[in-house]
Each structure stands twice: as structure tokens, then as C-alpha cells.
Amino acid sequence: MPGIKDVAERAGLSIATVSRALSGKGNVSARSRERAQSAAAELGFVLSYHASSLASGRNHNVGVVVPSVHRWFFSSVVEGVSATLLDAGYDLTLYNVSEGQERRHSVLNDFLLRKRVDAVIAVSLELSEAEIQQLLAIHRPIVGIGGPLPGASTIRIDDSGIARSAARHLIQLGHSKIAHMTGDAAYEQDFRLPGTRQAGFKKAMNDAGLAIRPEWQVSADFTIQGAYASARQLLGGSVERPTAVFAASDEMAIGTILAARDFGLRVPDDLSVIGIDGHELGGVFGLTTIDQDARGQGALAVRRLLAGLDGAGDTGAADTEFPTRFVIRSSTAVPPVDTAPLH
């Protein structure tokens, strides 16, 4: 393997100049730069990543911690992060901590602290204040997406607010028998999302003076198949059927629509369904939803991080609310005329 020394010799320059020429930092005459570059090319030389990192202290590497890479939101975020990072010439080290706590802990300690990443993006992951301080102490900027990170920068959508408007959309259409499908308790643990959206739902219902019926509060695991099973219970049970379902995610909304179809219910004529996400499949099901641009959130997280790395000092713990977009399609409509007499 050729080293920078070989390049220097071949180019008739010093090691120092070659280093500056190839890394693009410092002043180098055009002539020297070109010589260095062509010598490097001829030798098939590339700067050693580890040597550069060790000497300079910069890694050009960002650690991304996600609970899973298989679910819509996370893979969308990772796509956004990945593309932006690649453009900036940064590597992305993926920590998929699906298997729960002990793994998460070992990741934070053995990996992140080993000075091998310049910054950390934590997606839907609740870090303790101590963990965050630990990272910040060794000057590793950290930005969180969709999770509360005390003391760190975060990017998140207004979960409570959009849940409210989703519910309000149904209410304004005239629905009063509205069910809510939230996330299973397990998902409450790390990222508070299910509870927050549920709170928004309740607020909207209360504001409208509508009753929240416990039997219409169901939950699932955020997947289509999980929601499908749950919605079959809800819609096929012996209890009275709601005329609308607000699902805390698009995947769950889709599962609900599939279940409804199984029972011969037409959407939206017999049942209105609304979700949250902006899932690619929404179009196929005519799903009304609130689009949170997950890729965009990932991209923004990277931009924020890089700004903190290159730019001046800490931008502080900016808590950015990411904008969402209400997408009205054909899964919501006015409720069916009540077959039971009113009085």
C-alpha cells in the first residue's frame, strides 16, 4: 500500500504539502495541488481514514441510533440522513438497537464514546440526561428526532397538535362516534408518541363536548398487520361501531381500512379513517393523513448537526418544530345517516 510519503516523493513535494493538497485545507499553489493529485491518482493512493482522524481529531462520521430500520418512520429518516450525510462527505455509522435496553447501553458506552463519531443522531430514543451530558461533555453534538432529549437539540413534530387537528377534521365532518387507535404500551416507553397523540385526540374530543368511549380506544404495534388484527376486534365486535377511526399512524390506518373492507364496510361511506405520517401507500388507499416529512426530518437533523460542527459554537439546545401538511384524500367523509332514530 502506498503511503503519503510515496506520493510526496513521486510528486517532488514534501509530505506536508501533499497532505494539504489532498485534504484541501491550507494554502497550496495550483501547481503543487495538481502534482500531488496526479501522483496520488497514479499510485492509487487514498488518505488513510484512521490516520487522518487520529491526527486531526475529526472523523467525518456521524452515529445514527434507531430502534429499527425496518419500520416506515425509521427507514425514512435514515434515508434522509444518509443522503444528506453522503453529500457532505460524512460516513454514517448505524446503531440498530432493536433488541432493547442492554444493547442500547452497550452501544452508547462502547461505541459512541470511543470518539469514533463526531456527532450523534438519536431517533425516537430516550436518552437520560446523564447520557446526553456525557456526549456533550466530549463535545459530541447530538440531535434527537421524535424523542425528548433533555438538554440536546431536537427535531419533532407537534404530535399533540396534529392529533388534535386530525380528530377535529373528523369532528367537523360531523362525526361524533370516533375511535382512536394508539400505539401499544411498549412503544410508550422510549418515545412518548402514542400518549401524546392520544392526548391531542382527547383534547379535541373534549373541546367538542364529545364522549370518549373506552371500548373505542384500541391499540396496536404501529404495523399494518398489527392494526389489522386490532381493528377487526374494534369493528367486528358486538359493541356499537364507531363511524370514524383516527389511527396514530398511517400504517395503522391502513390496517384499519383493510379490516373494514373485510367486514364489507365502505370507506369513507360507512367508516372514515384518518392517519398520521405521509406513508407512500397512502395514495393507494386514498388515505387522509397528516404528512410529516420523515426524510426531511432526517435531512434537517444532519444540517443542524453539520452547522454545529463546522460553524461557530453551539447553537444551543434548539427544539425545532418540524412543519406538517394536512393531506385530504378520500378516506374521510361525512358520517353515514344514523339508522337508529334520534329521539
Measured CA distances, 191 to 66, 115, 122, 276 (Å): 11, 26, 11, 16
- Helix/strand number for the chain, H first, E second: 13, 12
Instruction: List, in sequence order, every beta strand (DSSP E) within the chain.
Output: 61-66, 91-96, 119-123, 142-145, 153-156, 178-183, 217-220, 244-247, 272-277, 288-292, 319-321, 324-327
Q: Is 26 in the site for DNA (CB under 7 A)?
A: yes
Binding site for its own copies (CB under 8 A): 1, 46-51, 53-54, 59, 61, 64, 68-70, 75-76, 78-79, 82-83, 86, 89, 91-96, 98-99, 103, 107, 109-111, 113-116, 138, 223-225, 228, 255, 258, 261, 280-281, 283-284
Residues from 3 through 22 that contact DNA (CB under 7 A): 3-5, 12-17, 19-20, 22
- Measured from the CB of residue 153, what is the shortest distance to its own copies in angstroms? 22
Calpha distance 287→181 (Å, rounded):
15
Q: Which does 25 bind (CB under 5 to 8 A by kind): DNA, its own copies, none?
A: DNA
Asked if residues 119 and 305 have their Cβ atoms less than 8 Å apart, the reply is yes
Asked if residues 118 and 309 have their Cβ atoms less than 8 Å apart, the reply is yes
Count the Cβ atoms, other than its own, within 10 Å of residue 184.
14
- Measured from the CB of residue 122, what is the shortest distance to its own copies in angstroms? 16
Q: Which does 86 bind (CB under 5 to 8 A by kind): its own copies, DNA, none?
A: its own copies
Nearer to its own copies, 118 or 170 (CB): 118
- Measured from the CB of residue 68, what is the shortest distance to its own copies in angstroms? 7
Residues from 30 through 59 that contact DNA (CB under 7 A): 31-32, 45, 47-48, 51-52, 54-58
Asked if residues 281 and 295 have their Cβ atoms less than 8 Å apart, the reply is no
> Which residues would be at the binding site for DNA (CB under 7 A)?
1, 3-5, 12-17, 19-20, 22-23, 25-29, 31-32, 45, 47-48, 51-52, 54-58
